[in-house]
Structures are given as structure tokens and as C-alpha cells.
Structure 1
Amino acid sequence: MTETNTSLEAPAMDAITGKPMPKPIPASTLVIFRDQPGSDAPDLLMVERSAKMVFAAGAAVFPGGRIDDADFEFAKTLGHADFDEYGARIAAVRESIEETGIAVAVEGNLDAKRVSDARHALHQGTNLADICNQFDWQLELEKLIPFSRWCPPFAEKRVFDTRFYMISHDDHKAQATVDETENYNLFWGNAQSVLDRAEAGEVKIIFPTKRNLERLAQFGSFDEAVAHVKDHPSVMVSPHIEKRDGETHLCIPEGIGYPITSESMDAVQRGFKK
């Protein structure tokens, strides 16, 4: 009798259409906090993506992007056994420099000219590892605090497996500037103010960003956010569809730190155009 081979996993299927899911693209995002003296809430750095982008076109998001092979290789070179995790952290640092001109979790000479030169080199295709060697920079990757991880079970044009990290950056002299390629605007604002702007139609935010901003709006400082994460460690968030009172909702699990866990599909802003 021939034994059936069950070692191969069946491909994941779209939760709505039943179509096979594409392999998720690893991505990394960084929530950069800037505590404001005398304020009830810290500012967060947001970038508004170009309308020409395939994913989240025109939306306000946290700085981030896909993880490159070079990020994983750099993690291995630095001796990290969990190169998936540390490659993601390296990508978050790299994307922050590329998209905003802000260098976080970097030890070394960070004068404005040097960071600008590093940013230009990254845009020209130079690896962050080579830049760190050239500028005598050391990465302080333990400063990045895992916040959450999202991967939707829907067969979109592209599916991203995105790790979200938090970091404090209270250098008010460091000027964030747009890269004029992937984003056309950036701004600092506390989480609730971004939600209010979205409600007023001034900015667009997609479902994961909205849920994360609602969670971040609970904190009066970076330290409060860190304490919260200790009680609610980062887990994979995979939204699902539910019928509630005759209405279709996009939902996430309860009990993982999010104050609001569902939204009517009629109101949901997703990363790709419907």
C-alpha cells in the first residue's frame, strides 16, 4: 500500500474567494516616537505615500518597506542566528533613513551631512552594511521593540507579512524630509490627531494603520507603550471576515492589545483599490 505524503503543506487559500494565496513578501515598519514635553501624547512620524504606488497609494503610513536579501545577509554577518527577525530590524532602520532622512538605532557620527550622504547612497543601491563600514556606524538593533505583525489572508496583488517595531527618537533637531519617490509628504502628529484627520477626510489610512493608531493612542509616552507591549507581546494579526447584525465586518482577534477589533467592510480602507 502506497503511503500518502503529508509532509507538504497545502497552499494557503484566500479567506473570501478561496483562491490560492501568493507567497507573502516580508516587510518591516517602524513607529518612531518623539515624546513632547508638556504634551499628553507623543508624536509619531507618518509618511504619505505617492499616489503612483501599487500598495497604499496616497495613504499615511509609518515608514517602512520590504525586507531585502541584503538585510538578511547583514543580520547573518552581525552574528544573529534569528536572521529573519534581525533582518527585519535592519530593514526598518534602512527604510527610515531612505524614506525620512532620520537615522535611528545607529551609533556613530550622525551629523546631518553624513546622514544625507548615507541616504543618497541607499537610494543609489548601496547596501546598509557597506555604509556602516564606511561611516563607522554600529546598529543598536535591540532598541527596536516588537509591536505587532500583520499578514492578511486575502489574495491581493501583493501580500505583505509586515513586522511593526517601535523606537524612541527625541532628537528634535533631526529634520525629517520626504524622499520624493515613494512619499510626497511627511508629518509628526500624535496618534489621535492622525485618526481625527482621517475622520475629517484630510488623510487616508488603511485598516492596519487605523487599528495600530487606535492602539497607540492609548499611550502618553514611549515608556507607556513599552510597558503595554510587555503585557501584550507581538503576535501575528491575520484579519478575518464576520457577519455582525447582518453587516459584513473585517475583524482582528480580541485580547491582543487593540481597543477596536472590527470595522464595517463598507468603511474599510484597504491597501489596494477595490
Structure 2
Amino acid sequence: MRRVEITGPEPGTTLNTGEATVPRQAASVILLRGGAATLELLLVKRTEKARFMGGVWVFPGGAVDAHDGDGDAAHRAAAVRELEEEASVSHVDPASVVKFSRWITPPEVNVRFDTHFFLAPLPDGEVPQVDGEECVDLGWFTPRGALEAHQAGEILLVFPTIKHLEQLSAFGSADEVLTYAAGREVLPVEPRVVVTGETARVLLPGEPGYDD
């Protein structure tokens, strides 16, 4: 499948020409279903009215609040809380979610988050539903199916989601990706936005031009 490339900052954001904004701590859940047979994941659509990433399809998630605590426990608590608020999925133990990745918004962007992504299987008997306000739609997708829907203009995705979907496309089942992630060391990924003339490109560490 053709690799998806992104230019420019995320919808609803602007480039920062001054001192970098301190990223806000955030957490997200990549909810999985399919067991040993297949791999599907849940995406929710943010309302078009949102000033930040309006109309974008994302993994359920949000900012860490003060009452969530500190450190890893706070990120786990926030991830599970946001999953329940945005997709009505409860009965997920924060201690059971599996850390998969950590992404930091580029310093060249005004609105920044330091987001910890966790994996969790869909609990038995749970049926995700959106609240109709913050999130207005949802869908189960294979990673490749979500990327193809984005390429066809059927859903709108942003850079971190696309990169996660590209990585998840390598796995054949939900159980396989959970096994892969268990006990794996997670290192932060901080893309950069490189502006050339009127074109802004998002680059990952190690890609040509990242350290220029």
C-alpha cells in the first residue's frame, strides 16, 4: 500500500515562530478487537465545531488532569477516563492497558501535547458509543482500511494517527500487537515541522532534513 505523507501542521493549529510552547501531558487509548483472528481498532470523529482538530478521526484520548495523579499512573488514569467519556467504554483497568508509544507535538506548532498511547482490548459486552457533542461518530477499522479511507477522502486523519496506523498495519491480529507491546521499552518520538518557502513538511527523527 502507498505510504501516506503529510505536509503542514495539524488542522486547527498554527505554526509557532517564537519560543516553543511547553507540551501538555495527554493520554490516548488504541482500543482493539479481533483477538487472535484479526485486528480492528476504534476511531472516533471529533466534532466539526472544535477549534482544535475539528472533524478529525482520532483514537479516544485527552489531557491529563491534576486529579489523575502523577507519572505513569496519571497517564493510565487519563487514558481510561477519556475512553469512557468519548466512547462510553468502561470496565478497563488502568493498570491493564499496555503502553505502545509516546508522541510529542513538534516545537514549531503552537498547541502541543506529550501524549502517551496505550493498547487495550475491547471488554466483553461493551458497545462503544459517542456522546454526540465532543465526538460525533465512530468506526471500527483495520489499520489499512483506515488509511485507505483517509486516502479516499472518507475520513480525515492527522500525522500521529497515520503513523500509528502504518505501524499497526504490520500486525495480523489484536493478540499479536498486544504481545509485541508487552514489556517493550517506549521512547518518545518528537517530529519536526520544516518550512521551505511556502511548504511545511513534517519529519520524523532520522529522516533527511530533520537535524538541519
Between 1 and 2, higher relative CO (CA 8 Å, sep ≥ 6) is seen in 2
2:56 counterpart (59, 65, 79):
59
**Unmatched tracts of structure 2, length 5 or more:** 1-14
In structure 1, the residue corresponding to 2:148 is in which secondary structure? helix
TM-score, scaled to structure 2: 0.81
Separation (CA, whole Å) in 2 of partners of 1:24 and 1:180: 28
Q: Which has the larger radius of gyration?
A: 1
Question: Structure 1 residues 230, 97: closer, same or farther in 2, change over 3 A?
Answer: closer
**Structure-to-structure mapping, 1:71-82, within 5 angstroms:** 71-72=68-69
Greater share of helix residues, 1 or 2? 1
Separation (CA, whole Å) in 2 of partners of 1:43 and 1:156: 31
Corresponding residue of 2:99: 146
**Offset of residue 240 of structure 1:** 2.3
Corresponding residue of 1:192: 144
Separation (CA, whole Å) in 2 of partners of 1:53 and 1:199: 23
Separation (CA, whole Å) in 2 of partners of 1:36 and 1:170: 11
Contact 1:33 1:170 in 2 (8 A): no
Larger mean Cα displacement after TM superposition, 184-193 or 228-237: 228-237
- State yes or no: 1:163 paired with 2:150: no
Corresponding residue of 2:126: 174
- State yes or no: 1:95 paired with 2:95: no
**Unmatched tracts of structure 1, length 5 or more:** 1-15, 73-82, 106-139, 255-260, 263-274
Corresponding residue of 1:237: 189
In structure 2, the residue corresponding to 1:194 is in which secondary structure? helix
**Offset of residue 249 of structure 1:** 4.0
Contact 2:36 2:173 in 1 (8 A): no
**Structure-to-structure mapping, 1:104-143, within 5 angstroms:** 104-105=91-92, 140-143=93-96
In the alignment of these two chains, the number of paired residues is: 192
Corresponding residue of 1:21: 20
- Structure 1 counterpart of 2:47, one-letter code: S
Cα RMSD for the two superposed structures: 2.5
Separation (CA, whole Å) in 1 of partners of 2:68 and 2:183: 29
**Offset of residue 145 of structure 1:** 0.8
In structure 2, the residue corresponding to 1:234 is in which secondary structure? coil
Question: Structure 1 residues 17, 101: closer, same or farther in 2, change over 3 A?
Answer: closer
- Structure 2 counterpart of 1:62, one-letter code: F
**Offset of residue 187 of structure 1:** 1.0
Contact 1:168 1:222 in 2 (8 A): yes
**Offset of residue 216 of structure 1:** 1.0
**Offset of residue 17 of structure 1:** 5.8
> What fraction of aligned residue pairs are identical, expressed as a percent?
30
**Offset of residue 207 of structure 1:** 0.4
Contact 1:104 1:169 in 2 (8 A): no
Separation (CA, whole Å) in 2 of partners of 1:253 and 1:232: 19
